Chain A
Amino acid sequence: MTIFKHNGSAVVAMVGKNCFAIASDRRLGVQLQTIATDFQRISKIHDKLYIGLSGLATDSQTLYQRLVFRHKLYQLREELDMKPETFASLVSAMQYEKRFGPYFCQPVIAGLGDDDKPFICTMDAIGAKELAKDFVVAGTASESLYGACESMFKPDMEAEELFETISQALLSSVDRDCLSGWGGHVYVVTPTEVKERILKGRMD
């Protein structure tokens, strides 16, 4: 479906030892024209929950705004931050609501759940969840990301090694995709801190 290739995107999340990393590219394009080189695809829901939205940029912005709204309501009512598993079900339900006129977005959700256990999942544009124990990928560079992550991933990596691995996987993959790139944005989240880093890659 070429609507998913309109803006171009690459998002990946990986599980480590008591931590997770989520990374995206920074390009926003309109087909072959690059419009922005600092586009934020990953957003924070709360300190231990991040969502990266690939696909059509307008739909990812709208979906993000609606999700923040729903999460704030949840926080007011429940006096709690949402668990990642719960949040994933919320995103899935919201997407399926639009089953016959969907948001053209493929979300990647990453968070620390109960006992700070890392949780990642992705879903298609109509909310079919895919839980994974190792890594999830989305975007126009998804096939390249599958290959790179499958070769580079090891279970139980510490935060620093996880950062290196996810960065290398992201940069090698977007370099083979014309519609994504212009650097990378990586968040590495442990129970105690969040490290946000910008990657310098090929600027084409």
Chain B
Amino acid sequence: MTKQHANWSPYDNNGGSCVAIAGSDYCVIAADTRMSTGYNILTRDYSKISHLAEKCVMASSGFQADVKALQKVLSARHLTYQHQHNKQMSCPAMAQLLSNTLYYKRFFPYYSFNVLGGLDSEGKGCVFTYDAVGSYERVGYSSQGSGSTLIMPFLDNQLKSPSPLLLPAQDAVTPLSETEAVDLVKTVFASATERDIYTGDKVEIVILNASGIHRDFMDLRKD
């Protein structure tokens, strides 16, 4: 007698890709605006990016209902923090909060694949990448979502520093300028759109730097 399995799943995957790149004094966070279910498109105009704190932006792909719930929880916790500490949460602090929030639901997870981007307390760009249950790491760049397997190798190729084990020692990666990083993001989304059916329509690009937050859109293929 084999075990009976559920014929209904509480989860769905709404697709999409997210990317974040950290620079010396800026951070670029981007996500496409397509929301799909199965082989259907629900909307071409859905933002996966959430502005959690003054210098902290989150992009999430996966199950958007869980993403929305997660954004609400983090937003409420941030408001409480502001009342108690009379200041905005820093990006590394929000990163830890997100990790704890995700692990809180370890046995019924948020089906949400997140990248957090922002500026740390020194004004340098930082990117944190997560799995669905809160394991996180600070990195220079990351991608999540349906197009991430297509995007990550190209980001490695363009951004990764040479191995510290090499002899003679090679200089660490030359950091990209803000415009170069935005161009790189546009290139990767155009490429991912070609080969991933869940990525397309538009890409929303958010740039965080010392002068504040700036949002830009770029059209992608709609097929």
Assess whether B12 is interfacial by the CB under 8 Å rule.
no
Residues in A whose Cβ lies below 8 Å from that of B191: 147, 150-151
Residues in A whose Cβ lies below 8 Å from that of B151: 147
Contact B192 A147 (CB under 8 A): yes
Assess whether A124 is interfacial by the CB under 8 Å rule.
no
Residues in A whose Cβ lies below 8 Å from that of B153: 144-145, 147-148, 172-173, 175-176
Q: How far is the CA of A123 from the CA of B188 in the complex (A)?
A: 26
Q: How far is the CA of A175 from the CA of B191 in the complex (A)?
A: 19
Residues in B whose Cβ lies below 8 Å from that of A151: 154, 187-188, 191
Assess whether A143 is interfacial by the CB under 8 Å rule.
yes
Assess whether B177 is interfacial by the CB under 8 Å rule.
no
**Interface-central residue, A151, A152, A176, by most chain B CB under 10 Å:** A151
Tell me which residues from 6 to 25 in chain B have a Cβ below 8 Å from any Cβ of chain A: none
Contact digits for B160-189, partner A, Cβ 8 Å, 1 yes 0 no:
000000000000000000000000000110
Assess whether B149 is interfacial by the CB under 8 Å rule.
yes
Q: How far is the CA of A152 from the CA of B158 in the complex (A)?
A: 11
Contact B187 A146 (CB under 8 A): no
Assess whether A168 is interfacial by the CB under 8 Å rule.
yes
Q: Give A174's nearest chain B residue, CB to CB.
A: B153
Contact digits for A137-166, partner B, Cβ 8 Å, 1 yes 0 no:
000000111111011100000000000000
Q: How far is the CA of A168 from the CA of B154 in the complex (A)?
A: 9
Helix, strand, loop or mixed for chain B's interface?
helix
Contact A147 B157 (CB under 8 A): no
Closest Cβ of chain B to A171, distance in Å, is: 8
Closest Cβ of chain A to B98, distance in Å, is: 24
Residues in B whose Cβ lies below 8 Å from that of A144: 149-150, 152-153
Q: How far is the CA of A11 from the CA of B147 in the complex (A)?
A: 20
Contact B157 A146 (CB under 8 A): no
Closest Cβ of chain A to B123, distance in Å, is: 30
Q: How big is the A interface, by class?
A: 10 to 19
Known A143-B150, A176-B149, A176-B152; contact A148-B157, beta-carbon cutoff 8 A: yes
Closest Cβ of chain B to A182, distance in Å, is: 16
Residues in A whose Cβ lies below 8 Å from that of B154: 147-148, 151-152, 172
Closest Cβ of chain A to B188, distance in Å, is: 6
Assess whether B194 is interfacial by the CB under 8 Å rule.
yes
Contact digits for A176-204, partner B, Cβ 8 Å, 1 yes 0 no:
10000000000000000000000000000
Contact digits for A78-107, partner B, Cβ 8 Å, 1 yes 0 no:
000000000000000000000000000000
Contact A147 B147 (CB under 8 A): yes
Residues in B whose Cβ lies below 8 Å from that of A173: 153
Assess whether B105 is interfacial by the CB under 8 Å rule.
no
Q: Give A153's nearest chain B residue, CB to CB.
A: B191
Residues in A whose Cβ lies below 8 Å from that of B188: 147, 151
**Interface-central residue, B151, B153, B156, by most chain A CB under 10 Å:** B153
Q: How far is the CA of A168 from the CA of B156 in the complex (A)?
A: 11
Contact A147 B156 (CB under 8 A): no
Given contacts A150-B195, A172-B156, 10 further A-B contacts (CB under 8 A): A143-B149, A145-B153, A146-B150, A147-B150, A147-B188, A147-B192, A148-B150, A151-B187, A151-B191, A176-B152
Q: What is B's interface to A at a CB cutoff of 8 Å?
A: 147, 149-154, 156-157, 187-188, 191-192, 194-195
25 A-B pairs with CB atoms under 8 Å apart are: A143-B150, A144-B150, A144-B153, A146-B150, A146-B195, A147-B147, A147-B150, A147-B152, A147-B153, A147-B188, A147-B192, A148-B153, A148-B154, A150-B191, A150-B192, A150-B194, A150-B195, A151-B154, A151-B187, A152-B154, A168-B157, A171-B157, A176-B149, A176-B152, A176-B156
The 4 closest A-B pairs by CB, nearest first: A147-B150, A150-B191, A143-B149, A172-B157
